[in-house]
Structure 1
Amino acid sequence: MSNDLRRAHAALIPYTPFITQWSEERDSPSQIVERPGRGIGYSDETVNDRDGNGVLWFRMPSRPGQGRPLFTKVHPQRQRQAMRRLLCGVCGQPADQNADGTLWLLCDFRGDWPDWPERMAVTEPPVCRPCVRVASRLCPALRNRCVAVRARRAPVAGVWGALYRSGGHSPPVPVGDVSIAYGDPAIRWVRAFALLRELHECVILDVDTLCPESTAG
């Protein structure tokens, strides 16, 4: 890593999102096993490994601020916490809510379908209004192509995670990443690393109007 890149990286550390994984939060060693008739589990499973719907979750220690931020990776438990409690994914404080709904900052994909983002499942937690400025300026995925969205309803819909299949007499075999709804029997074969909410009754807002300084350079 060049000195210029190191300096740029260090400058971003104070703005590290709440849900970002840090380098000292390494994957916890775990052995995936098949539970006959019940999908997958850990060989040394505890009650903390599953959510209230019985879905198995990816294990990872929580050590925010230790090491360096891995901006392209998300910490599973903090993402889940932010989504369940409607916390801002940037600062971890309560997301902005008003009569029009909870505030999200999303990449602009209005060309995907006519009433986008209606009925869209998202893994991105909502945001608070002050963090719109930070996220829209500093997040490479959002810079110059984001919109603010308020959703009056955003129910928890499912999870995104690694899907496994039975290995027969061998350990279960991962077959790919999927988004899957709670209630789908196949969710028993998923190890989740993100919670999904589905957006309904959406209103799209202009970021510059919502936060005039958000695009200031």
Structure 2
Amino acid sequence: MSTASRLQVGVDVPWVTSWSEEPMLGVGPCPSVDGAMALAQADKPGEGRPLYSRNHLFRQRKSVREMLCPMCGKPTAKGDRWSQTGRWTTAREVRDRNMGVWLPQDLKDEHPLFDAGAIAPLHRACAQRALTHCPHLKGMADRELKAFPDAWIIATLAVEARPAANFTNVPQKPVVAITFLQLIGVPDYAG
């Protein structure tokens, strides 16, 4: 039997965090990625206990696609998008990690990029609250909030899912299923 937590989603626990009563459900079309096949997870935020540092699949994808703050779940606005964990890199480094397929071909190797990973930018107030309360963030060597660029690229991270055999015991063909979305900020690009 699940129990509602006393912790408040979006205040005490980041909106994007998974909860113990949100099990994996399998693979199917997902509105967070325009109906593409994606891993699915039950949606019961606030039920059970929070699984900190485990992003909920649907809420993570939605936060990146819609630029929703992972802490409170509300839209972020240009000029109020901040990253706690992202890092500066270059187009060359992204290409060297085999993620160059997502970058414009005319983007020079030296072009700076901001790799936010799977974490959408937060409102400044939410980011500061998280830095104050989150043990993981408190323990990071680099605690500086970094402004997120006004332009970005979204890359899909996917796995090959092998469905179980159907009722005729015939193996099903594997499908590519999106897991998370990765966010790469692209400052000063006029492509």
Q: Is the 8 A contact 2:86 2:116 kept in 1?
A: no
* Alpha-carbon distance in 2 for matches of 1:109, 1:12: 33
Deviation at 1:25, TM superposition (A): 0.7
Match among 58, 70, 82 for residue 63 of structure 2: 82
* Alpha-carbon distance in 1 for matches of 2:41, 2:163: 24
Q: Hey, which of these two has a bigger chunk of strand by percent?
A: 1
Percentage of matched positions with identical amino acids = 23
Once the two structures are superposed, residues 158-204 of structure 1 have per-residue CA deviations (whole angstroms, 9 ceiling, x without a partner) of 2223235899x74457xxxxxxxxxxxxxxx43222122221118xx
Seen in structure 2, the aligned counterparts of structure 1 residues 165 and 11 have a Cα distance that, compared at 3 Å, is closer
**Pairing of 1:11-90 with structure 2 (within 5 A):** 14-28=11-25, 30=26, 45=28, 47-48=29-30, 51-52=33-34, 55-90=36-71
Give the root-mean-square deviation of aligned CA atoms.
3.7
Unaligned stretches of 5+ residues in structure 1? 1-9, 31-41, 174-188, 203-217
Q: Is the 8 A contact 2:88 2:113 kept in 1?
A: no
Tell whether 2:176 aligns with 1:190.
yes
Q: Is the 8 A contact 2:81 2:124 kept in 1?
A: no
Tell whether 2:128 aligns with 1:133.
yes
Seen in structure 2, the aligned counterparts of structure 1 residues 21 and 194 have a Cα distance that, compared at 3 Å, is same
TM-score (norm 2): 0.65
Deviation at 1:85, TM superposition (A): 1.2
Seen in structure 2, the aligned counterparts of structure 1 residues 141 and 163 have a Cα distance that, compared at 3 Å, is farther
* Alpha-carbon distance in 2 for matches of 1:50, 1:138: 29
Once the two structures are superposed, residues 27-48 of structure 1 have per-residue CA deviations (whole angstroms, 9 ceiling, x without a partner) of 12x4xxxxxxxxxxx5xx5x54
Q: Is the 8 A contact 2:67 2:76 kept in 1?
A: yes
TM-score (norm 1): 0.58
Unaligned stretches of 5+ residues in structure 2? 1-5, 94-109, 165-169
